[in-house]
């Protein structure tokens, strides 16, 4: 018999730069599978420190990766207890925003990379305040999101940006068709599409360029 228990869980997160009255963009970043927030944060060090404040959230499930038990990575979700774990993730994200006193701040934008795309979009589904942008980089949009979620997204978010590398080793024609249908369903013609010639990596120059237009 499987039973469930609720308990208090503590998790960390990373920040970059300072939040001031001059800050234009508040980045809430969701790293990919196998990352740690402390390393993912480095991708954003080139942003204008006067205009940007970066929060990199930490996936809760950590484990050793590779051989030798030297390197540690983290994961947001697996196919086991997915709904329950996503609930835990949402509780964590909302608590970070409360701690940073950012709930309802219109300068917020969400940036998800790889597995982080699924977390960012599911969080936006649960968030009921205006945000500047949703940036989806090299990841899959959850299958359960539907037209009502799309309406909520369009009512809540000013810009949608989708980045998919043409050399991504985790992509193929089937994946491209599936994601294209999801983009059309949820965002219609409002989504800005970028297809750089990159593998499954964070395209830092493109991120920095997009940041200038936010």
Instruction: Tell me whether residue 49 is in a domain.
Output: yes
Instruction: Tell me whether residue 4 is in a domain.
Output: no
Instruction: Tell me whether residue 87 is in a domain.
Output: yes
Q: How confident is the model at residue 70 (pLDDT cuts 50, 70, 90)?
A: confident
What is residue 67's predicted lDDT score, i.e. its pLDDT? 83
List the domain range (segments joined by +) for residue 164. Answer: 13-213
Strands of 191-194's sheet in order across: 13-16, 52-57, 25-30, 108-113, 131-137, 157-163, 191-194
What is residue 12's predicted lDDT score, i.e. its pLDDT? 97
Average pLDDT over residues 73-99: 95
> Is the pLDDT at 14 greater than 90, yes or no?
yes
> Is the pLDDT at 29 greater than 90, yes or no?
yes
pLDDT tens digits, one per residue of 134-170: 999 999 999 999 999 999 999 999 999 999 999 999 9
Tokens 């970066």 map to which residue?
Answer: 54
Of 134, 131, 136, 135, which Cα lies nearest the Cα of 156? 131
8's CB contacts (< 8 A; 6+ apart) are none
pLDDT tens digits, one per residue of 178-192: 999 999 999 999 999
> Is the pLDDT at 28 greater than 90, yes or no?
yes
Instruction: Tell me whether residue 76 is in a domain.
Output: yes
Q: Are 112 and 121 in contact (CB under 8 A)?
A: yes
CATH number of the domain bearing residue 134: 3.40.50.1820
Two structure tokens written together for 119: 């977390």
Task: State how many domains the chain has.
Answer: 1
How far, in Å, CA of 97 to CA of 92, rounded?
A: 9
pLDDT tens digits, one per residue of 49-69: 999 999 999 999 998 988 888
Instruction: Tell me whether residue 45 is in a domain.
Output: yes
What is residue 69's predicted lDDT score, i.e. its pLDDT? 86
Q: Are 190 and 154 in contact (CB under 8 A)?
A: yes
Instruction: Tell me whether residue 92 is in a domain.
Output: yes
Q: How confident is the model at residue 74 (pLDDT cuts 50, 70, 90)?
A: very high
What is residue 165's predicted lDDT score, i.e. its pLDDT? 96
Average pLDDT over residues 90-100: 97
Average pLDDT over residues 44-48: 98
What is residue 5's predicted lDDT score, i.e. its pLDDT? 92
Residue 142 DSSP one-character state:
P
Instruction: Tell me whether residue 204 is in a domain.
Output: yes
Instruction: Tell me whether residue 134 is in a domain.
Output: yes
Q: Are 33 and 115 in contact (CB under 8 A)?
A: yes
């Amino acid at each position: 018999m499987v039973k469930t228990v609720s308990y208090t869980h503590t998790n960390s997160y990373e920040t970059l730069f300072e939040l001031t009255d001059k800050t234009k963009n508040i980045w809430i970043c969701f790293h990919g599978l196998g990352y740690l927030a402390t390393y993912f944060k480095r991708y954003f060090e080139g942003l204008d420190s006067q205009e940007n404040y970066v929060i990199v959230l930490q996936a809760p499930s950590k484990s050793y990766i590779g051989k030798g038990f030297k390197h540690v990575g983290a994961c947001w979700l697996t196919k086991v207890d997915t709904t329950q774990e996503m609930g835990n993730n949402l509780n964590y994200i909302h608590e970070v925003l409360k701690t940073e006193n950012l709930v309802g701040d219109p300068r917020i934008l969400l940036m998800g990379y790889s597995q982080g795309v699924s977390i960012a979009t599911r969080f936006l589904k649960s968030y009921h305040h205006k945000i500047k942008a949703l940036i989806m980089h090299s990841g899959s949009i959850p299958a359960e999101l539907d037209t009502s979620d799309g309406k909520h997204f369009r009512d809540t978010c000013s810009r949608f940006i989708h980045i998919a590398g043409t050399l991504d080793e985790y992509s193929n024609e089937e994946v491209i068709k599936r994601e294209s249908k999801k983009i059309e369903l949820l965002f219609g013609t409002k989504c800005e599409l970028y297809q750089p010639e990159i593998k499954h990596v964070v395209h830092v120059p493109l991120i920095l360029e997009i940041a200038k237009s936010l």
